[in-house]
């Protein structure tokens, strides 16, 4: 550690001397209140079961194909099976079209889920508002969403970026602030409910979480990444199928993305090609994920149509927090060269419960004998953002390594979320919003320049 630290200091000095990038990174001294984060109680307003016999609850949507001409609607009924039908249309009082879904349920130790319905609406038009209703036969509830614009190089879009949300009072303020900022879809970097922090992984906390976020995710698609809190692998409880609650509850459009598992896939939203990777599924050479990613990056990305190449994962590759230090390292070693070759614009991760943004750096020269282990500035490399600061029950990760490594541009131990506003093929505005004890505040922001269309321009 000491040797590494000394090398980083020497290296930081060299970078400053070379002046190829902005000055020393910022470790923000801002500190949120330090009371423990606690989950909202089971009788909290946000967890209320909607009124009416067998009323659909936990309604959520995600893309049903790669670009949003299909949308998958999911919900739970608790009293009896009920209907898996969705009626939908362009006008709230004329839901002329009908789609028939299916249902599933699962057991986890001594918990039995409600009836979980999934129904994919197809043949939607891009950039159009739809209304949809579920719960036929008993209590009907109506919602709406707007499909993303057709993929195209200058199609603007505003993403919300959230990770490690959980269901504490802080999680609620993160969601409130995101709603105030008004994004069109959420890229979610994994760790949803934190139900596994409870005895027996109390799966009722999967239900409360889904009721909590319904107010956003019933109206706009959230794109799901798997985190370690989705594993729910607990041999002591006889639960040996990883991701059991997650896979029953949260479908992903992986087949449309030529993937063979729901945990790694891609979507093309407006001018962005979003690749979702799975930190907790095999990614070594020759594995299904490795083969899929190779084909994805070399054959299926077209920057002329979707200039913005964004990669999501749970465990960060560049993380200067002592919390979860180096956990993403094996995946970085496996895939970083590919991401640099592909000129990825932005890599988003969660897992570490604080915020950090990197400069464009890479560490691809290293091999086991040459000793070149220090990350170096690289204009073709992505910006890495760690945004596992959604506000979950495990609290804030406020122990950053010192000195701040040269690759780290800004880091702060506060809860919050970010937005990414893609303006056109060359420019996107990234802003991190700290929860700031109640009022949202922009604490870090940067204009990103596209790595395909403006490969040598600095971010500002
Ligand atoms: C969560 O936030 C919403 C929106 O501001 C608010 O109405 C609700 O009372 C909050 N719930 C809790 C338990 O803090
Ligand atoms: C499951 O088992 C726990 C521990 O024995 C118990 O407290 C809980 O009530 C049980 N739940 C159900 C639904 O049986
Ligand atoms: C911060 O992390 C370092 C390295 O893991 C550890 O030695 C130190 O005790 C930690 N400090 C606190 C206050 O937890
Ligand atoms: C792209 O958007 C940026 C930021 O709004 C703007 O400065 C730039 O002129 C735009 N480029 C084109 C070609 O419109
Ligand atoms: Fe995590």
408 CA → ligand 1 middle, Å: 34
pLDDT at 31: 67
Mean predicted confidence (pLDDT) in 171-200: 97
46 CA → ligand 1 middle, Å: 6
Q: How many CA atoms lie within 13 A of 93 on its CB side?
A: 0
With contact defined as beta carbons under 8 Å apart, do 303 and 455 qualify?
Answer: no
Inform me whether the pLDDT recorded for 30 exceeds 70. Answer: yes
Mean predicted confidence (pLDDT) in 422-434: 97
Residue nearest to atom 1 of ligand 1 (CA): 172
392 CA → ligand 5 middle, Å: 10
457 lines ligand 4 (CB under 6 A): no
- Atom of ligand 1 minimally distant from the CA of 46: 11
Inform me whether the pLDDT recorded for 277 exceeds 60. Answer: yes
Inform me whether the pLDDT recorded for 21 exceeds 60. Answer: no
Over the stretch 197-248, which tens digit does the pLDDT of each residue have?
999 999 999 999 999 999 999 999 999 999 999 999 999 999 999 999 999 9
Q: Which of 229, 324, 417, 433 is catalytic?
A: 324
Mean predicted confidence (pLDDT) in 187-204: 98
Residue keyed to tokens 């029950």 = 393
456 lines ligand 2 (CB under 6 A): no
Q: Which of 426, 459, 460 to mutate to test the pocket of ligand 4 (most atoms within 8 A of CB)?
A: 426
Which is higher by pLDDT, 232 or 442? 232
With contact defined as beta carbons under 8 Å apart, do 398 and 354 qualify?
Answer: yes
Over the stretch 351-408, which tens digit does the pLDDT of each residue have?
999 999 999 999 999 988 999 999 999 999 999 999 999 999 999 999 999 999 999 9
Q: Which ligand is nearest to the CA of 41?
A: 1
Which is higher by pLDDT, 419 or 24? 419
45 CA → ligand 1 middle, Å: 7
Q: Which ligand is nearest to the CA of 323?
A: 3
Share of the chain above pLDDT 70, in %: 93
Q: Which ligand is nearest to the CA of 112?
A: 2
Share of the chain above pLDDT 90, in %: 89
Q: Which of 106, 107, 113, 200 to mutate to test the pocket of ligand 2 (most atoms within 8 A of CB)?
A: 200
Inform me whether the pLDDT recorded for 5 exceeds 50. Answer: no
49 CA → ligand 2 middle, Å: 21
Catalytic (active site) residue 324: yes
43 lines ligand 1 (CB under 6 A): no
With contact defined as beta carbons under 8 Å apart, do 155 and 149 qualify?
Answer: yes
Model confidence at 94, in pLDDT bands (50, 70, 90)?
very high
110 lines ligand 2 (CB under 6 A): yes
Inform me whether the pLDDT recorded for 6 exceeds 50. Answer: no
148 CA → ligand 4 middle, Å: 21
Residue nearest to atom 14 of ligand 4 (CA): 424
- Atom of ligand 4 minimally distant from the CA of 423: 2
Over the stretch 299-317, which tens digit does the pLDDT of each residue have?
999 999 999 999 999 999 9
Classify 309 as helix, strand or coil. Answer: strand
Inform me whether the pLDDT recorded for 20 exceeds 90. Answer: no
User: How far is it, in rounded angstroms, from Cα 387 to Cα 354?
Assistant: 6
Model confidence at 436, in pLDDT bands (50, 70, 90)?
confident
- Atom of ligand 1 minimally distant from the CA of 169: 14
Q: Which ligand is nearest to the CA of 172?
A: 1
């Amino acid at each position: 550690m000491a040797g590494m630290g000394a090398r980083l200091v020497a290296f930081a000095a060299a970078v400053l001397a070379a002046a190829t990038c902005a000055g020393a990174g910022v470790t923000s001294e801002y500190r949120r209140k330090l009371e423990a984060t606690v989950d909202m109680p089971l009788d909290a307003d946000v967890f209320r079961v909607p009124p009416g016999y067998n009323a659909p609850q936990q309604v959520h949507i995600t893309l049903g194909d790669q670009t949003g001409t299909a949308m998958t609607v999911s919900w739970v009924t608790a009293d009896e099976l009920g209907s898996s039908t969705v009626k939908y249309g362009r006008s709230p009082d004329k839901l002329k079209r009908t789609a028939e879904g299916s249902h599933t349920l699962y057991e986890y130790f001594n918990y039995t889920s409600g009836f979980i319905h999934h129904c994919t609406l197809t043949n939607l038009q891009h950039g159009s508002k739809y209304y949809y209703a579920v719960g036929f036969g008993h209590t009907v509830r109506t919602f709406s969403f707007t499909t993303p614009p057709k993929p195209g190089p200058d199609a603007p879009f505003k993403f919300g970026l959230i990770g490690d949300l959980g269901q504490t009072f802080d999680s609620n303020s993160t969601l409130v602030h995101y709603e105030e900022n008004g994004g069109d879809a959420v890229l979610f970097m994994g760790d949803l409910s934190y139900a596994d922090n409870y005895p027996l992984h109390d799966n009722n906390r999967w239900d409360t979480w889904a009721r909590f976020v319904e107010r956003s995710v019933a109206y706009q698609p959230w794109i799901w990444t798997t985190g370690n809190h989705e594993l729910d692998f607990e041999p002591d409880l006889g639960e040996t199928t990883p991701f059991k609650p997650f896979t029953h509850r949260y479908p992903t459009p992986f087949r449309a993305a030529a993937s063979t598992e729901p945990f790694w896939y891609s979507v093309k939203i407006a001018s962005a090609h979003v690749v979702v990777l799975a930190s907790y599924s095999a990614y070594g050479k020759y594995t299904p994920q490795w083969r899929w990613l190779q084909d994805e990056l070399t054959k299926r990305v077209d920057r002329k149509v979707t200039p913005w190449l964004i990669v999501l994962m749970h465990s960060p590759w560049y993380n200067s927090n002592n919390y979860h230090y180096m956990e993403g390292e094996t995946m970085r070693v496996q895939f970083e060269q590919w991401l640099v070759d592909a000129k990825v614009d932005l890599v988003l991760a969660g897992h570490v419960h604080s915020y950090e943004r990197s400069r464009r750096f890479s560490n691809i020269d290293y091999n086991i004998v040459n000793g070149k282990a220090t990350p170096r500035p690289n204009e073709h490399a992505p910006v890495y953002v760690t945004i596992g600061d959604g506000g979950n029950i495990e609290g804030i990760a406020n122990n950053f390594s010192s000195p701040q490594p040269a690759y780290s541009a800004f880091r702060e131990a506060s809860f919050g979320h970010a937005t990414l506003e893609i303006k056109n093929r060359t420019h996107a505005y990234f802003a991190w919003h700290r929860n700031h004890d109640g009022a949202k505040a922009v604490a870090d922001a940067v204009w990103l320049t596209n790595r395909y269309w403006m490969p040598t321009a600095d971010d500002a």
